[in-house]
Amino acid sequence: MAIDEVPARPERQRVAVIGAGAIGGTIAARLDAVGHDVTVTARGENLAAIRAHGLQLKGAFGQHTARVTALEALEVPPDVAILSTKATGTTAAIEASRQALDGVPLLVVQNGLGGDRLAARLLGHERVAGGIALMAANSMEPGIVTVTATGDTIVGGPEGARFAALLGEALPTSETPSIEGAQWTKLLINMVNAIPAIVGHSVQDVIRDPGLRRVMVASMRETARIGLAAGVRFQPLQGLTPLLVRVVAFAPHRIAQQVPLRIRDRLGDVPNLGSTQQSIRRGQPTEVDQINGAVADAAGRLGREAPVNAALVELVHEVERTDRFLPASVVRRLA
């Protein structure tokens, strides 16, 4: 390109983001910022705030107010769609927008395992990619998303190349050869979520506590061992390589604990609540069954157990039922 040539703008696409929470809101705002025609779905106060004031993005990806179309469910087919609801809401979200999603390429960006496969079954077509968001973001006020730490968005599977190109215009994005392996690596990283939700403190504060960190490492160790036993080919994410997964699985605690300590350093100084605690504070169902519960379920299919993860699931559900955080001592005694 000659030095005086103006780079071509990306082709404007009609993009629907289903679920404008912390991750979906970030993706939607950034796609709007680079010039795409963005529609989001949301509910309640979040929907009302976006309609009134726009979708406001703050923090590590910069500040932008996205004047997006905000709906309860999609009404017309977009060119492409991104599903970023909690894993617990996948079926309801797809059913609400089913007609508009017929044959439309879909990217499922969620925690847990197999959300892309579930969406493909529900829609009855294979134009479904899987995605993993490695950024850290909070959405505690309606219509406002604050990114506390940057990170790649990883995509893979059918239509992976399409979504890697689309998101790459707006966010750090890369394509993985194994979305299942990447989902398992993210599952291990997501072991930082349950304990903060139980005790009501930030991820960083939990990792700083030696006793809580020991339990977190134990949950990570179970995840790594069960995934390896199931034949999963873990993919590198955020510096967590397949070799480090084996370190977590089999190395002494003093070495394995370097993984959560690295995560703490990456998160920086802005307190990050973790997605599970954010759900609790908003009075919404958590994804603990799709995160820690997924490890316990996978262990059961192998004839094994994952007692730490199973116990963390029960403690998160106790906090959900009682609306009261628990003393850290209740968690420390798990390991």
Please give the pLDDT value at position 2: 41
Q: Are residues 115 and 201 in the same domain?
A: no
Structural domain total, the chain: 2
Instruction: Give the residue numbers spanning the domain of 129.
Output: 14-176
Report in angstroms the alpha-carbon separations of 140 from 23, 171, 193, 284.
12, 22, 16, 12
Q: Are residues 301 and 235 in the same domain?
A: yes
Q: Which residues, 6 or more positions from 183, have their beta carbon under 8 angstroms from its beta carbon? A: 112, 113, 114, 130, 132
Q: Are residues 197 and 287 in the same domain?
A: yes
For residue 328, the one-letter residue type is A
For residue 307, the one-letter residue type is P
Alpha carbon 58 to chain centroid, angstroms: 18
**Sole residue written with tokens 């997501």:** 190
As separate numbers, helices (DSSP H) first and strands (DSSP E) second, the chain gives 17, 12
Decide if 166 is inside a domain.
yes
Q: Are residues 206 and 138 in the same domain?
A: no
CA–CA gap between residue 206 and residue 216 (Å, rounded): 9
The last residue of one of the domains, among 113, 148, 176, is 176
CA–CA gap between residue 184 and residue 145 (Å, rounded): 26
Q: Are residues 197 and 134 in the same domain?
A: no
pTM (2 d.p.): 0.87
Decide if 146 is inside a domain.
yes
Please give the pLDDT value at position 138: 86
CA–CA gap between residue 162 and residue 128 (Å, rounded): 11
Decide if 131 is inside a domain.
yes
The last residue of one of the domains, among 151, 176, 201, is 176
Q: Along the 335 residues of the chain, how does pLDDT read in single tens digits?
A: 343 443 344 589 999 999 999 999 999 999 999 999 999 999 999 999 999 999 999 999 999 999 999 999 999 999 999 999 988 899 999 999 999 999 999 999 998 898 999 999 999 999 999 999 999 888 889 999 999 889 999 999 989 999 999 999 999 999 999 999 999 999 999 999 999 999 999 999 999 999 999 999 999 999 999 999 999 999 999 889 999 999 999 999 999 999 999 999 988 888 888 889 989 998 989 999 999 999 999 999 999 999 999 999 999 999 999 999 999 999 999 98
The last residue of one of the domains, among 143, 176, 209, is 176
Residue 311's CATH number: 1.10.1040.10
**Sole residue written with tokens 């968001």:** 133
Strand-strand pairing, 64-66 and 55-59: antiparallel
Decide if 4 is inside a domain.
no
Nearest alpha-carbon partner for 320 in 197, 192, 196: 197
Q: Which residues, 6 or more positions from 335, have their beta carbon under 8 angstroms from its beta carbon? A: 214, 215, 217, 218, 308
Decide if 209 is inside a domain.
yes
Q: Are residues 92 and 109 in the same domain?
A: yes
Q: Are residues 39 and 167 in the same domain?
A: yes
Report in angstroms the alpha-carbon separations of 302 from 113, 220, 276, 324.
16, 17, 27, 34
Alpha carbon 36 to chain centroid, angstroms: 23
